[in-house]
Structure 1
Amino acid sequence: MKRIIDGVMIGTGIVAVLAVAIVIAWAGDVFTVDKDGVPKFAVSDAGKITVGATESYVNLVVQNDDVATESDNKLDITADVLTVEGVRLENVALSANIEATGAGGLDSGSEAANTWYYVFVIANNDGTSWNGLLSTSSTSPTMPSGFTKKRRVGAVKNSLGNFLLFVQEGNKCIYSDWSTTQRVVSSGVEIGWTIVDVSPVVPSTSRLCIISNQFEATYGSSGYKGSFIRTAGATSTYGPNLLWTYFVGGTPHATTRIAEVPTDNSNRVEYRLSAAPSSGGIQIDIFGYYDRI
């Protein structure tokens, strides 16, 4: 047993933890109770006890605004729970518009095409006010007056002056409408490992992309023909980081596989074919990525 508040003793059982939480809440304090080092409850000054309250985020969604006239410049951010530098926000529903400036918009400067913008939720010191914010910095946005805390929740590519369309749930982002921007290799025919830069559609805060290997080729000879994608600089020809597809024969074939492939620290993968085709080649598209939020 351990004394943590005058008149209250705590043991290792869940009942004891609840009892301490109730006493702390009754005392008018905001407090997180840990059992065996694992966060279990958050107690508000109103006496509310919430299981799993110390989750980093719950049901976080970032996506283009659903209003047709604004979907290319405005994002919606929602979450049941979102922790922002130690402040717990509930029922978050806000937006960030790149055509606005300050809280709810761009932190500084003006909108630029072909640029990654990082998406933040910002809050004041006690969490009674919060908003969205966009910045070209993934770590140090210019904070609007009155806001002291920040939490990056995603990223968005402003392509030709419009946001690429996407839906992000948690840390997984999927592009919701294909565009030519997402094709990083078209009719590739290289038989040696060839570097592919995926940073136009995978932000610097990600090291895992969702990629397709679409092999459409004609060969003049029969036998196994394959196309391969792996992390740039990988030393193993085969392994868990390899996405491959193949067919047998010399006539035109088309086959596609989609998988998660890690990138290197410069957001690159690499590909090769087993043999040079007489026509066609490999198409490589990025369908999404996992963000390190």
Structure 2
Amino acid sequence: MNAVLEFFCVSHTFRSRGREVQALRDVSLSLSEGEVFGFVGPNGAGKSTTIKVMLDIINDYQGQVRIYGVDARRADARQPLAFVPESPALYEQFTPLEILRMGLSMYGIKRKDAGAWCMHWLERFSVAQNAKRRIRELSKGNVQRVALAHAMAVQPKLLVLDEPLSGLDPVGRKDVVDILTEYKKQGGAIFFTSHVLHDVERIADRFGFINKGELLTVRSPRELAAERVDQMLVRFNAEQQLLSSCKQLRDMEFECELSQAELPAFIAQLNNVGGHLLTIKPSVSLETVFFNILEQASR
């Protein structure tokens, strides 16, 4: 497959309050056509800085970034790219329909059916009913939908999304996931960040974990599953938590992750306190792996 996005040993340092901060440290990654790359990390890890580098908002970095083989510092490198920030700053006095038509114009896209084409994407993101209302009259979730429709209307080859499901209700999240999945099947590439690890698991082909500017690991769902094959997710009823690692789901119902070797002793303990085992299933949790990686990095 052709490489859509490539980072080669990218580092970036900036000054804050009189001291130097290493925002990125030798970050190398790649993204291919038809692939979704989920970029995960805590606040301040370097996710937004990485996006700013590929968008040439930050260009005083060391290393090299290419988009379809073109140096990211060149303006034409971003022609096949569309970006949706976490909090889109759309012109409040314009309508969604005007925003999308303006996007086509800025990308130099001339279509005889421009109005119908823009309405098609507003319908796909369930905001067609607000097509002629001012942006300032819309909710945060609907503004997010308009921004996503705006990005898709220009038919990018690479979609860069910063927290794309932020502010959306469950129905909106499902709609967006379905559209992104279809886009991927058609050969589109997606690079996105998210704090909601469940969303990353649903969409991404590979996950990149970044912390303190350093890309700690890149893994696929298959690698993740193989790594967690010994771990089981146990749900049970009891009057007490039993283990400090257990998470309370509701009154007297808990959930915890255990290795297969730990299960017999735990079940015996549960029986001793009069508890009841509800379910046991294999655990393939991106969240657990994420925190394990952070813990190992801190050591």
TM range (shorter): under 0.3
TM-score between the two structures when normalised by the length of structure 2: 0.24
Answer 1 or 2: higher relative contact order, Cα 8 Å, separation at least 6.
2
Could you tell me the TM-score, scaled by structure 1's length?
A: 0.24
Q: Which has the higher strand share?
A: 1
Higher helix share: 2
